[in-house]
């Protein structure tokens, strides 16, 4: 059994709190490593390292900072396969899915290498008599990020790449369930030329998060996780005077119109609902067929597809998805399925009894499919985060649209239709932050921003895209007049620039 370390001031540092968490192999259920859970003192050690390293890093010009990110891209490309295998071994997602996890993170690194352009300010010559105006974007100092278990490569890179490109130092608190890849990414950043202390990784639980939230030297914090914790982090960060962008739960709907290509819609639902065992904040967890005929046509195709899903080992290239991340999470998802049955939903496909031969202690579960779900049921109102798809039928388009817009979560929503007018109306009126038109998981590319609405997000700025550079910098505006300009004498009224 191996032990995981923290990464502080450019090197791996053992934990000294005496508290540890178990890391499992999800396929076997066995404990394969222990991760130290940082004390407040260990978090403070990381903050001090970041605080001392940040001014010199901020003084490096943006083009040279970008070169470090470009070198990092090269190094991750070299180790892409080994990183995917490590990620898969701790998380349980298939290796193919793990490769995508890494790639989507690298796309934000590529975008962040555009820092020389993205950090440009504005300049106005002769804004008034002899007066020039200009603005500049300056780093905040030390920023921190708390990331979830479901994307242990992508979301850390979504956070630390733009922050570091902006000239900040960064402290990453990854999930204690799968910290191996974040630690390796930090080492590769060092190999790429990042100075020691600019990127630190501390493993831990709530004690570590609270320490980051309460530390006056941490100027901003980013978070991805459940809405309950996102709201807590946001409130405590704001109370401490920090910037915060906190992203929470989702209940993403896919509206299937009567004119939709049903085969296309079913392909989309199978991939978006069950890929990565449903452990994705942008997974489709609710299908909304419009009209009785659409519902019948959809379910006639959907049921056999869910029944034939192939659940396998993460290394099995033919597997549709692998095990869930922990036994605790597996039990939670199964309990939601039992709750749905109690609430009166019709369980058309029950995957709870699935066992992988030879891996009976693994955290495996087959796909589940509910019909006749209603808006009052908890399985509809709450995020399940597993391979469970609910079908909630709508009489007409307006009822389907109202379901999407009334839900307390508003991460993403999709519509499948051949009608351009319906698609345009849905994109305009649906109350969700990201919309897909014949696209089931509408996750924007790196040069647009990622973020939901309502209780799916807390804060004013989204992840990646230009919003990331706004979040990790502060704007300074300079009004200047040089000797030799027009002298107007003392003025005791508001200047009007007239």
d(CA 105, CA 414): 23
CA 206/CA 19 separation, integer angstroms = 12
Bridge partner list, 145: 172, 222
Report the C-alpha gap between 219 and 216 in whole angstroms. Answer: 7
Beta-carbon count within 10 A of 423 CB = 18
281 part of the active site:
yes
**Angle, alpha carbons 474-213-242 (nearest 5°):** 25
In the structure encoding, which two tokens stand for residue 145, read together?
A: 């990020």
- Which backbone phi and psi does 135 adopt, to 5 degrees? -125, 155
Residue among 166, 238, 246, 281 flagged as catalytic? 281
CB 450 within 8 A of CB 471: no
Determine which helix (DSSP H) or strand (DSSP E) holds 153, and give its type and residue range. none
Tell me the HSE value of 142 on the side-chain side, using a 13 A CA sphere: 22
Q: 439-460: b or e for each residue (b if 16 or more CB lie within 10 Å)?
A: bbbbbbebeebbbbbbbbbbbe
Q: Do 383 and 280 meet the contact criterion of CB atoms below 8 Å apart? A: no
Cα(182)–Cα(194) distance, integer angstroms: 15
Helix or strand holding residue 285 (H, E)? strand 284-289
Pairing of strands 31-36, 131-139: unpaired
Q: Which tokens in the block code for residue 71?
A: 């070198």
Report the catalytic residues.
281
């Amino acid at each position: 059994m191996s032990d995981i370390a923290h990464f502080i001031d450019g090197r791996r540092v053992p934990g000294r709190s005496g508290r540890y968490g178990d890391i499992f192999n999800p396929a076997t259920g066995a404990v394969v490593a222990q991760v130290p859970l940082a004390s407040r003192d260990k978090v403070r050690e990381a903050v001090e390292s970041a605080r001392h390293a940040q001014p010199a890093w901020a003084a490096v010009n943006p083009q040279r900072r970008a070169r470090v990110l470009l070198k990092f891209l090269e190094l991750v490309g070299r180790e892409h396969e080994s990183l995917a295998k490590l990620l898969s071994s701790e998380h349980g997602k298939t290796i193919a899915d793990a490769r995508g996890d890494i790639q989507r993170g690298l796309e934000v690194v590529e975008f962040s290498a555009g820092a020389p352009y993205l950090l440009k300010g504005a300049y106005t010559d002769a804004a008034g008599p002899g007066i020039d105006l200009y603005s500049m974007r300056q780093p905040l100092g030390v920023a921190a990020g708390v990331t979830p278990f479901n994307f242990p490569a992508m979301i850390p890179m979504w956070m630390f790449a733009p922050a570091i490109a902006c000239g900040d130092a960064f402290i990453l608190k990854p999930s204690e369930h799968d910290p191996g890849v974040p630690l390796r990414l930090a080492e590769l950043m060092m190999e790429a030329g990042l100075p020691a202390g600019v990127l630190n990784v501390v493993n831990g639980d709530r004690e570590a998060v609270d320490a980051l939230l309460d530390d006056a030297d941490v100027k901003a914090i980013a978070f991805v996780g459940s809405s309950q914790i996102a709201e807590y982090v946001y409130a405590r960060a704001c109370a401490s005077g920090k910037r915060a962008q906190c992203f929470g739960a989702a209940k993403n709907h896919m509206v299937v119109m009567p004119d939709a290509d049903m085969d296309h819609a079913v392909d989309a639902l199978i991939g978006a609902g069950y890929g990565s065992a449903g452990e994705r904040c942008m997974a489709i967890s609710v299908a909304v067929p419009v009209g009785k005929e659409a519902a019948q046509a959809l379910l006639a195709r959907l049921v056999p597809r869910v029944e034939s899903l192939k659940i396998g080992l993460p290394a099995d290239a033919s597997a549709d998805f692998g095990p869930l991340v922990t036994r605790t999470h597996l039990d939670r998802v199964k309990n939601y399925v039992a709750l749905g049955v109690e609430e009166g939903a019709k369980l058309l496909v029950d995957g709870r009894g699935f066992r992988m031969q030879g891996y009976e202690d693994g955290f495996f579960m087959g796909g589940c499919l509910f019909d006749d779900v209603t808006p009052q049921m908890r399985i509809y109102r709450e995020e399940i985060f597993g391979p469970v798809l609910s079908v909630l039928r709508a009489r007409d388009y307006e009822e389907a649209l109202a379901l999407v817009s009334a839900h307390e979560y508003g991460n993403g929503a999709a519509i499948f239709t051949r009608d351009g007018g319906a698609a345009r109306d849905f994109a305009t009126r649906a109350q969700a932050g990201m919309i897909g038109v014949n696209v089931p998981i509408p996750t924007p590319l790196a040069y647009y921003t990622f973020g939901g609405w309502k209780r799916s997000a807390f804060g004013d700025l989204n992840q990646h895209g230009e919003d990331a550079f706004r979040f990790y910098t502060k704007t300074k505006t300079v009004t200047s007049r040089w000797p030799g300009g027009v002298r107007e004498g003392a003025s005791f009224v508001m200047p009007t620039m007239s």
